[in-house]
Amino acid sequence: MKVARLHGVRDIRVHEEERPAPGAGEALVRVEAIGLCGSDLHFFEEGGVGGTRLLHPTVPGHEMAGRTEDGQLVAIEPAIPCGHCARCREGHPNLCPTIRFSGLGKDDGSMREWMAWPRHCLIPLPEGLTATDGAMLEPFGVALHTVDLAHVRAGTTVGVFGSGPIGLFILQAARVAGAASLFATDLASRPHRLEAARALGARVYAADGSEARAIASDAEGCGLDVAIEAAGVQAAVDAAVEAVRPGGRVVLAGIPSDERTSFKASTARRKGLTITLVRRMKHTYPRAIALARAGRVDLRTVVTHRFPLTEARAAFELAARREGLKVVVEP
């Protein structure tokens, strides 16, 4: 079978390898769609994320769906928590300290034609959803978890700082949760992202250093109820803290390259802000499938480019240039 392995910075190669053999409790899945995530791009461009480094040639990919040997189309949950530690027992499997994850450490990801994965991590997809839809359930699940942490409710004003695929999914999830007004930012050099956010009903602003004051003024003159940073850069964190109202909530969903994220302590303290960080997702697949099936969210609008597995390098290069929104590889 064909496999794409990341060997180092910008060094992804397609190999011929043996098809994996399922172990106990596993099933063999023919992979049909893999989305490229921002964390994949960190590994491609920088050789890692924060303190997690690429230590050996690894198959990337954790936004994924495929078909079992008996023909069932499934979304593939990338996380394998231990299930018995305190965090897992408390209902927070995304915080499991020994969690395994597709494409990290010893667990090769989905950028290959076949993968063996635990049966309990395979989520059957209903009629009407495609493999690409199934792959998008993972980033949309992150967006759902983010909005859960943001405590968005009916009438809330929500700003999303960074309108990449996760940011766009957050806008959709916030709207479903009852947000009354949506605001969004991105760089002026990425007008396609601003247009995508506008199409979702958000008022859009170029991230040029003045956007926070403009948003705070336009959000009924008192600032946002919730500010969600989804860019992974310090400027977006600063803007989110500045744009939110006193007593508001700031949620940091972006994955930064640096090991440290900061904010202006005097501003956050005087406003009495609640600041929350996002760690992947938890228990979101059933809700995400129900919302997609009912047509309340659109998983397809973020997908702008598709590549065969043999062109994995071209897919990563295009995604790294941020020319489109979501890039999908289809083995």
Q: What is the pLDDT of residues 74-126, one digit of tens each?
A: 999 999 999 999 999 999 999 999 999 999 999 999 999 999 999 999 999 99
* Domain CATH number, residue 185: 3.40.50.720
What is the pLDDT at residue 106? 94
Q: Which residues of the chain have pLDDT under 70?
A: none
Report if residue 294 sits inside a domain.
no
* 6 and 92 share one domain: yes
pLDDT value, residue 258: 86
pLDDT of residue 259: 87
Query: What Å distances lie between residue 310 and 172, 235, 314, CA to CA?
Result: 33, 37, 9
For residue 245, list its beta bridge partners: none
In-domain check, residue 296? no
pLDDT of residue 157: 98
pLDDT digits (tens, 9 = 90+) for 276-313: 999 999 999 999 999 999 999 999 999 999 999 999 99
Between the alpha carbon of residue 112 and those of residues 25, 140, 213, 244, 310, the distances in Å are 20, 22, 46, 43, 10
Give the pLDDT of residue 221.
87
Question: Does 148 fall in a domain?
Answer: yes
Chain-centroid distance, C-alpha 234: 18
Report pLDDT for 50. 83
What pLDDT does 220 receive? 86
Q: Which CATH number is 308's domain given?
A: 3.90.180.10
Residues 163, 110, single domain; the answer is no
Boundaries of domain holding 70: 2-124+301-330
Question: What pLDDT does 45 receive?
Answer: 97
Same domain, 119 and 230: no
User: What's the rounded Cα separation, in Å, for the pair 205 and 162?
Assistant: 10
pLDDT for 257 equals 87
Is the same domain home to 188 and 254?
Answer: yes
Predicted local distance difference test score (pLDDT) of residue 249: 98
Compute how many other C-beta atoms are within 10 angstroms of the C-beta atom of residue 118: 16
